[in-house]
Amino acid sequence: MAPTNKKKILILSMTAGSGHIRAAKALVEYAEANLPNVSAEHINISDIANPLIKLFNQDIFKLSVENWPKTWGKLYDASDNKPMASALSRAAKLQKPFNLKLAAYLKSKDPNGVIFTYSAPAQMLASTFRKYSPNIKLSLVVTDYHGHSFYNVPKIDKLFVPNQKVKDELLRAGVEEERISITGIPVNPRFYLKQDASELKAKYGLAAGRKTVLFMASCLLSQPDLIDAVRQMLAFDPKINLVFVASGNKEFYEAITGAFPSQERLTVVNWTDAIDEYMKMSDVVISKAGGLTVSECLNLNKPMILLDPIPGQEERNAEFIEQNGLGVRIASIREIDRALAKIGSLEEKKEPAVLPENSCEKIFKYFE
């Protein structure tokens, strides 16, 4: 018989990059598989929020990152101090009158605890939760390898951070030490399953005797750059298997399949929900420096080539990877050959400051 006294945990994210959503879904999947006394529900605020809230927190972010990345990076840096973070926090609270319907909806859920996987909804809604339920546990997951001052949300009881470095940064931002727990960043439970790389290569039709490079395309790259990168990697010596994942971008998929119609060492994938398997059978992952992608590679001990990270949080993630000897960062497609050669000669990888066996487990323990 199913338990009748389940704890209800709301996991709130927002579409502003895919990492916040993936972290939330990872927590839900872990709870469903391992915690019979917990009912975890993921709500993407973007699906139900007032259009003005979505414009402010989602659309402007996407527009800025894709069109004015340097400007975004300067804003990110300039706001990483107590006075500016406090001002931005007050600005976020001004959005509440536009979202009374959202607040009422969340209140009707009557949760025992809340996990935010993005700071903007936490800034906007934490005080609302605290008002109607003074004893509710409110938490926030830091999904990047930098403790930005904006994470210092006064009503949040606990911040879950990836490592000691981020904890130290949040301490300098004014967060009390007792409010911080080092847990790692939650990734999908599938990334903890052991699978044999040679069996996965056979499953996907890749040659067993070659190294495999996984290239996950970024929306910030142009089609000519992508084609140039693939051409370089197919010409690389020693020869490699190359898996190109277009991340659902139809134009990218068609550009690569059109430019390389019959390459037995090239596998082109438009979209996959088995990225964990592609990572597990790969020797190197080329990607943007999103916090979740970095964490997935860390869990699988896969070295990374980080291509032109967006100024701001992605640059900090890339710095973390380089400082720990876990990969290299490149500024342009022309550096692909150099990066592949360097990956092959990297010294033995240093252990990250903290890499827990299961971050989801550590996070849910807080609500026991």
Is 187 a member of any domain? no
Count of structural domains, the chain: 2
pLDDT at residue number 14? 85
Mean pLDDT, 10 residues at a time, the chain of 368 residues:
74 83 95 96 82 55 59 70 69 61 81 93 85 90 94 94 94 95 94 94 94 86 91 94 94 96 93 95 94 93 88 90 89 88 63 63 95
Shared-domain flag, residues 239 and 147: no
pLDDT at 1: 40
Query: What's the CATH number where 324 sits?
Result: 3.40.50.2000
pLDDT at 293: 94
Which range of residues forms the domain containing residue 158?
Answer: 7-182
The whole-number pLDDT of residue 19 equals: 85
Q: Which residues pair with 12 in a beta bridge?
A: 43, 116
Instruction: Give the per-residue pLDDT at 304.
Output: 94
Residue at which a domain ends, from 132, 157, 182? 182
> Does residue 357 belong to any structural domain of this protein?
no
CA dist., res. 30 & res. 361, Å (int): 8
Nearest to 352 by CA among 290, 289, 300: 300
Three-class HEC string of 236-249: CCCCEEEEEECCCC
* pLDDT score at 230: 95
Separation of alpha carbons 278 and 46, rounded Å: 29
166 alpha carbon, distance to own chain's centre = 15
Nearest residue to 227 via CA among 259, 251, 250: 259
Residue ending a domain, choose from 150, 182, 214: 182
Which residue, 111, 142, 38, is CA-closest to 359? 142
161 and 232: one domain? no
The pLDDT score that the predictor gives to residue 316 is 93
